[in-house]
Amino acid sequence: MKAKIRKIATFVEETQQEMGRPISPPARRAAAVAVIENPCAGKYVEDLSELTAIGEELGELLTTRAVAALGIAGSAAESYGKAAAVGENGEIEHAAAILHPKLGTPVRRVLGKGAALIPSSKKRGGLGVVLDIPLGHKDAAFVRSHFDGMEVRLNDAPRANEIMVAIAVTDSGRPLARVGGLKKEEIKGEDGLR
């Protein structure tokens, strides 16, 4: 393990009702968050490949954790997203190095597919910063019912020299989705868009 992990947290939300209407089966989503040491904190580092390698590791670890927390097969996942929060001694580019070059491949390996871009967000912040992980359908980005977001937060992270890395996976779209657009039953799932 290249990443020096201080803690890992998982969150599973299950929505059974919305506006008094039953959601059946319940809408379920999970996020897995790792708090790691930022090896590039406190100085300018030109080559961020160490963080990129950490991203690749965390892609597999966190997706596996999130799917396990949901208790579903990877192939049953419907939407996904990723996000990172860099502590105050790091730069936003550190989040980019973790999230963008290599994290996605192991995510897709765990889920079996994932033709769509993994929606992402990133920020720099202090302890307790809120990460809103964007969510989109994993095989067709235009599936409107699956545009969503999941908030995660840890009161004790990220410390100044840490990075919080989060991956969210769902088994469904929004509860009571009804604003039209491409439906999941209609997707081709080839180009990642439709």
Residues of the shown chain interacting with another protein in the complex, contacts defined by CB under 8 A:
5-18, 69, 151, 153-155
Smallest gap from residue 107 Cβ to another protein (A): 20
Nearer to another protein, 7 or 188 (CB): 7
Other Cβ atoms less than 10 A from the Cβ of 176: the count is: 13
Q: Give dist(CA 39, CA 47) in Å, integer.
A: 12
CA 18 to chain centre: 24
The whole-angstrom distance between residue 48's C-alpha and the CA centroid of its chain comes to: 21
The least distance separating another protein from the CB of residue 125, rounded to whole angstroms, comes to 16
User: Among residues 7 and 113, whose Cβ is nearest to another protein?
Assistant: 7
Looking only at the bridges linking them, the beta strands covering 120-124 and 79-86 are parallel
Shortest gap between Cβ of 169 and another protein (angstroms)? Answer: 15
Q: Report in angstroms how near the CB of residue 126 gets to another protein at its nearest.
A: 15
**Nearer CB in complex with another protein: 151/186:** 151
Q: Which is nearer to another protein, 6 or 194 (CB)?
A: 6
C-alpha–C-alpha distance, residues 100 and 10, integer Å: 22
